[in-house]
Amino acid sequence: MKEYRLFAQSMYDRAVGHYETFGVSVFEDGVMIRIVRDVSPDRKRVEALVSEFNREHLEPVHLDQAIEDFLLDYDC
């Protein structure tokens, strides 16, 4: 059983400074098997993404591509 979860993190860059952002982790039988940091500072969007991954039973091997697609998917 795989489960995607959101996690909060603090990032730091010399110029950008500290910023709060959210990443996605994948757990299998309670063990974390994959993590992608700094997906977006927008908590609601990352929450929606995690819900979609769980609903669609996304295979972790596709996670990187799904995150890449997410970055290109902002609807203005």
Partner 1 sequence: MLCDLCPRECHIERTERQGGYCGVGTLPKIARIAPHYDEEPILSGTGGAGTVFFSGCSLRCVYCQNHEISADDFGTYITPYQLSEEYRRLEAMGVHNIEFVTPTHYIDAILESLCYYRPKLPLVYNSSGYEKVESLKKLDGVIDIYLPDFKYSNNTLAHRLSACADYAETAAAAIEEMLRQVGAPVMEDKLMKRGVMIRHLVLPSHVKNSIGVLEIIKEKWDSSVLVSLMSQYFPTGKADQYPDINRRITLREYQKVLDKLYELELDGFAQELESADKKYVPKWNYGN
Give the binding site for partner 1 (CB under 8 A). Answer: 11, 13-16, 19, 21, 38-42, 68, 71-74, 76
Nearer to partner 1, 21 or 54 (CB): 21
* Contact call for residues 30 and 3 (beta carbons, < 8 A): no
Q: Tell me the CA end-to-end span of the chain in Å, nearest whole number.
A: 35
> Rounded CA gap, 32 and 28, in Å?
6
CA proximity to 37, closest of 60, 62, 11:
11
Output the smallest distance, CB 67 to partner 1, in A. Answer: 8
Output the smallest distance, CB 32 to partner 1, in A. Answer: 20
Output the smallest distance, CB 31 to partner 1, in A. Answer: 25
